[in-house]
Chains A and B, each alone.
Chain A
């Protein structure tokens, strides 16, 4: 089961869960994913130990997709 989570004031919220063989869940996850990107969130997946990458489309085979806010110099 793959998960789309958003880091927020609750610690994190699970926005969608899906498996590749469940089209309805995939559609819901893609819709939620795009809505969060529209809000300004950036989507990240872990690509190996100590490595992460940004994605612009929902990677259906990723076990975990994390939505984060942009960073800036303080």
Chain B
């Protein structure tokens, strides 16, 4: 049987989407709505604290310490959300050297030279998609989308831990699992994954590990190149 014949009808949709059948399939419009909802939620958290700080100072300047505490809350809450987003690409426990090397070799075969180098430096694989540019990690993926990739979406997604052997996979294999699923059905991938954070790229960039920040810069550069070639 040839590869074309083996592609049965319906297999262009990620089978894992069946386990989240109640979720609408993620497309560009839904992604924008989700982003707007996150922005609205952030504003709803920040504005009351800032308002309270202003009101307290207007009522009595002696309440300055409480007003400062309110301002701190208004700052910390979005930061905590961004940290939650950055955590999706936090490196996990590594397997023994041998399996890690074999897994990295297979992953290297799946991606291009530049993506391979970037993964070696940052543990993230850059993968251009229709929704934006993805950075795939071991247990999650970042999506930079919108104009110039200003908005980041952080997805928590991993090899299904209920399946035997999933927890023993080397890190390269975990990335390869996500990468293959993403390549097979990008919208399905975004549907199956849990959105942990959506917000400004700069906010996320500050919260990821310094070693991973070049991957975000590379994703932005990739988006810029794409915009230039379209113009």
Contacts and interface: CB of A to CB of B under 8 A. Distances in A.
A45 B19 contact: no
B173 A7 contact: yes
B88 interface: yes
B162 to A, nearest CB: 8
Interface residues of B, number: 59
Nearest to A72: B160
Interface size range on A against B: 35 or more
Contacts of A5: 106
Given A7-B176, A11-B170, A71 B1 contact: no
Contacts of A58: 1, 6
Interface in A44-74: 44-47, 49-62, 64, 66, 68-74
Interface string A23-62: 0000000000000000010101111011111111111111
A9 B15 CA distance: 23
Interface of B: 1-8, 11-12, 14-16, 19-20, 88, 95, 98-103, 105-106, 109-110, 112, 127-128, 139-140, 155-163, 165-166, 168-170, 172-173, 176-178, 180-181, 183-184, 189, 192-194
